[in-house]
Amino acid sequence: MRIYGVIGWKNAGKTSLMERLVAEITSRGFSVSTVKHVHHDVDLDQPGKDSFRHRAAGATEVVLASAHRFALMREHRGPEPELPAMLARMAPVDLILVEGYKRDAHPKIEVFRREAGHDLIQPHDPLVRAVASDQPLTLPVPRLDLNNTAEVADFILTEVGLASI
């Protein structure tokens, strides 16, 4: 599977870029899935609902299935799941975009906005292949226009070998 990350600090614009990239890349005929790393508990369930009751009774996995989508919830009592374990559960697609998991070993674009109040990650991570920003920067890697989704998509598709397909 082709995997590419979008990283950056809080409020830099990662999710907005991810949303635009998914729309742009799928409009070019490629299938795309996403992984979003979060720092808080994820719960699609509500107390009293049947699936919540299944989990509370001890089910390891619960699937919510309808005509248009399904969601698989898995209980685990150990450390946070690692990215390879999440990727192994996913159906094959042309590209998986990963938001977060900034310390993992996959190629990444950093989203950077100075007003977010953080330093660049890129100088300390050789896997950051470019920085998408809305301001001029002098860097040892390409600086992409954060507001030019097509440019960022072109860069990623070239990096993963999909640009010529």
- Its CATH class, for the domain covering 3-40+80-159, is alpha beta
List the domain boundaries for the chain: 3-40+80-159
Residue 93 CB coordination number (10 Å): 15
Most confident of 42-46, 67-71, 113-117, 136-140: 136-140
Residue 80 has pLDDT above 90, yes or no: no
pLDDT at position 115 = 86
Of the two residues 38 and 87, the one the predictor is more confident about is: 87
Average the pLDDT over each of 40-44, 97-101, 130-134 and give the range with the smallest value.
Answer: 40-44
Most confident of 23-32, 53-62, 111-120: 23-32
DSSP conformation class of 47: T
pLDDT at position 160 = 98
H helices of 7-75, in order, are 14-27, 50-57
pLDDT at position 62 = 87
Average the pLDDT over each of 22-26, 113-117, 160-164 and give the range with the smallest value.
Answer: 113-117
Task: Note the pLDDT tens digit of each residue in 5-37.
Answer: 999 999 999 999 999 999 999 999 999 999 998
Residues 6+ away with beta carbon under 8 Å from 56: none
The residue written with tokens 């009592």 in the block is: 77
pLDDT at position 55 = 83
